[in-house]
């Protein structure tokens, strides 16, 4: 199964660090501010043992709200809007990033707000304030640290579960799965019928 996700937010909120930690399972201190969009592929196993693959589109660090084109969002199954808990402006701009995502992905429900850098002492946005904003916007909220890895796997696991449930509710998705299984069984039967029984 393939899940396509886009990660957006103000510059210097740690978008790339979150994605890299999820893929590599450790912090990467060599990461610099992303200068161009990057596509990261990482695997995940859901609670029901279904194996899935994430294609995570990490937007460039210098992007600002209103500058991402529809092509960035095309065919995405989920959106992570990241802010820095030590930067009030990045938190205030969550609303603008959400508006942009909804313009390009009308009807999208798999949108998470992620407060990053909770390992730092200079916190400006409390957990309670972040949760309150998410509840007001009817979105899920997580807080993470790309330095010690807190909650990063939880974010992607929760998102994967939500996307999986949504995909399985689509009739056309069920039909494609049935077709794949039928084709597989047909090929298997054909192979068995042509094999030598000497």
- Helices H / strands E in the chain, number of each: 7, 6
Residue 38: pLDDT over 80 = yes
* d(C-alpha 82, C-alpha 9), whole Å: 5
When pLDDT is averaged across residues 87-113 and rounded to a whole number, the result is: 96
| Predicted pLDDT at 170 | 75
Report all structural domains of the chain as residue ranges with CATH numbers, in order of start. 2-190 (3.40.50.300)
Q: Rounded to 10 degrees, what is the CA torsion of 92, 119, 163, 110?
A: -10
| Predicted pLDDT at 105 | 95
Say which residue, 192 or 112, is predicted with more confidence: 112
Q: Categorize the per-residue pLDDT at 34 as very low, low, confident or very high, splitting at 50, 70 and 90.
A: low
For the ranges 62-76, 146-160, 168-182, the lowest mean pLDDT is seen at: 168-182
Residue 187: pLDDT over 80 = no
Say which residue, 196 or 73, is predicted with more confidence: 73
Rg (CA), the chain: 20
* d(C-alpha 88, C-alpha 160), whole Å: 29
| Predicted pLDDT at 124 | 98
Residue 20: pLDDT over 50 = yes
Regarding pTM above 0.85, the answer is no
Residue 198: pLDDT over 60 = no
Q: Categorize the per-residue pLDDT at 177 as very low, low, confident or very high, splitting at 50, 70 and 90.
A: very low
């Amino acid at each position: 199964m393939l899940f396509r996700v886009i990660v957006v937010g103000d510059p210097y909120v740690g978008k790339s660090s979150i994605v890299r930690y999820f893929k590599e399972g450790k912090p990467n201190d060599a990461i610099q501010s992303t200068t161009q969009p990057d596509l990261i592929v990482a695997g995940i196993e859901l609670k029901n043992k279904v194996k899935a693959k994430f294609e995570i589109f990490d937007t460039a660090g210098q992007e600002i709200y209103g500058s991402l084109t529809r092509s960035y969002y095309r065919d995405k199954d989920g959106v992570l809007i990241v802010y820095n808990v030590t930067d009030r402006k990045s938190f205030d701009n969550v609303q603008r990033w959400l508006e942009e995502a909804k313009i390009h992905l009308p009807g999208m429900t798999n949108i998470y707000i992620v407060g990053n850098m909770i390992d730092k002492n200079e916190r400006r946005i409390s957990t309670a304030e972040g949760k309150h904003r998410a509840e007001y916007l009817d979105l899920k909220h997580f807080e993470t640290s790309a330095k010690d890895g807190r909650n990063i796997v939880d974010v992607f696991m929760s998102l994967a579960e939500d996307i999986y449930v949504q995909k399985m509710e689509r009739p056309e998705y069920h039909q494609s799965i049935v077709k794949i299984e039928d084709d597989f069984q047909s090929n298997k039967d054909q192979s068995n019928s042509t094999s030598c029984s000497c």
